[in-house]
Amino acid sequence: MAETNYDLIVVGGGPGGYVSAIRAAQLGFTVALVEKRNTLGGVCLNEGCIPSKALLESSEHFARARHELKEHGIDVTDVKLNLKQMMVRKEEIINKLTGGIAGLMKKNKIKVFKGIGELLPKKDDLCRLNISDQQELTANNILLATGSEAIELKHLPFDGEKIINARDALSLTEVPQRLLVVGGGVIGLEMGSVWSRLGAEVTVVEMLEQILPQTDPQVAQTLQRSLKKQGLEIRLKTRLEKIDVGDKEITATLNSKDKEEELVCDKILVAAGRRARTDELNLEAVGLQPNKAGQLDIDDNFQTATPGIYAIGDLVAGPMLAHKASDEGVVFAERLAGQAATINYPGIPAVTYTWPEVASVGHTEEQLKENDVSYKAGKFFFSASGRALCNGTTDGFIKVLADPDSGRIHGVHIVGPHASELIATAATVYSFAGSVHDLAVTSHAHPTLSEVFKEAALAVNKEAIHA
């Protein structure tokens, strides 16, 4: 008979849940993981981070073959899109990674249960969990890591055909002729980029004054100009008021500066944000309820108001990022084991995988001003980078914000080629309280894109060599 009592039960097999389960098992806890999907990895691996990056990479190859290879002296004719094969490749990547996680569960002796985990009232000081009304488990501790889901707008209910979410947008069987994207955040811009590269006419509407609202404004403006050159139409301070769905097309009524206009499209991708997924947890059974933001309040050890019940990732405050959830999963397990683990939340990088990419770590200029923190800014453009010129990827820049006296770095903001990789160095320097002076004496290989980071740091004190 299978074990039904554990030191820890993790509800949710995404990047927060499965990582915390592995770390807890490494620390000697008996661990069970409950996941309602057939595969592990959560939204990230199954319908988010991984499939979107697979399609972004494939669509980028397609766009370059059509528009950029001639400049490199490579003549390619009759370039055709094989969307079916592109989707097959995406699925193969998903299957390889989710299968790998299943293997890690066996390696670490973590028992995996398939089903919906519902909390039950505690009994004999033990936490209890019901799995799809079929089995009950008990544990000293339960970690909730069920992630988030796309927000559905009342006037734009998802139907999976004409009104779609990001999951649907990752599995289209043909390229829409006209795609309207509601929301100029990360998901909207990434998915809009994919289908624009593959031939769709893409219009992005955003209610606020800039795309990527939490991003450095100069970075957002640079990205918007680049996306416009690629063919995306972006309308800021614009709201989708209503739609008229016909048999073959949709007429959307847009409102911008009190001016209404109609836009005809084939599909509408709603990318208006995400909300914590708590509906199926039966929180009231243990005396819990979501806060005004729809998330769970926790203490420094990730414990909710109910002893023995913990939460991480998208269920709690902070950016809804896979690596944030994973970091919290590790720290949760280590604190449960009595270790003094911590997370430097400002040191968690954020990335948007458009072209050019956008990445940042630390504080923005606006945040520093709000907190009355003195700083100086240094900026260096990729157009002055030898490696970027060789690659033909010169759009964008790196901006470094630093203390005017000590030189300690307060934040780094990148828009440009391979920003998602470059930000790791910035995150390391930032997390270890590094300064522009540290970067000045660190040798950077030439020619590399990383030299732009060093030059931007030098530019803080007007010491950049190639500016």
3-class SS letters over 249-266: CEEEEEEECCEEEEEEEC
DSSP secondary structure code for residue 71 in this structure: G
* 272 close to 151: Cβ distance less than 8 angstroms: yes
Whether 323 is a known active-site residue: answer no
* 399 close to 409: Cβ distance less than 8 angstroms: no
Number of Cβ within a 10 Å radius of residue 171: 14
Residue type, 257: K
Find all residues with CB under 8 Å of 389, minimum gap 6, and list them. Answer: 383
DSSP SS3 for 148 = strand
* 150 close to 165: Cβ distance less than 8 angstroms: yes
* 156 close to 162: Cβ distance less than 8 angstroms: no
DSSP secondary structure code for residue 23 in this structure: H
CA 329 centroid distance within chain: 17
Structural tokens at position 453: 């980071």
| DSSP one-letter string for 277-305 | --GGG-GGGGT----TTSS----TTSB-S
3-state helix, strand and coil shares in percent for the chain, rounded to the nearest 5: 35, 25, 40
* 187 close to 181: Cβ distance less than 8 angstroms: no
3-class SS letters over 338-380: CCCCCCCHHHCCEEECCCCEEEEEECCHHHHHHCCCCCEEEEE
What stretch of H or E contains 135?
strand 135-144
Q: How far apart are CA 405 and CA 149, in angstroms?
A: 44
* Catalytic entry in 61, 67, 72, 446: 446
Bridging pattern class, strands 163-164 and 267-270? parallel
DSSP SS3 for 436 = helix
> What Rg do the C-alpha atoms of the chain give, in angstroms?
24
Structural tokens at position 77: 């004719």
Give the full edge-to-edge strand order of the sheet including 163-164: 163-164, 267-270, 178-182, 201-205, 233-235
Nearest 5 degrees, angle CA 279-CA 17-CA 158? 40
CA 138 centroid distance within chain: 33
- Locus of tokens 């219009």: 203
Q: How far apart are CA 445 and CA 465, in angstroms?
A: 15
Length of the chain: 467
Task: Indicate which residues carry an active-site annotation.
Answer: 446
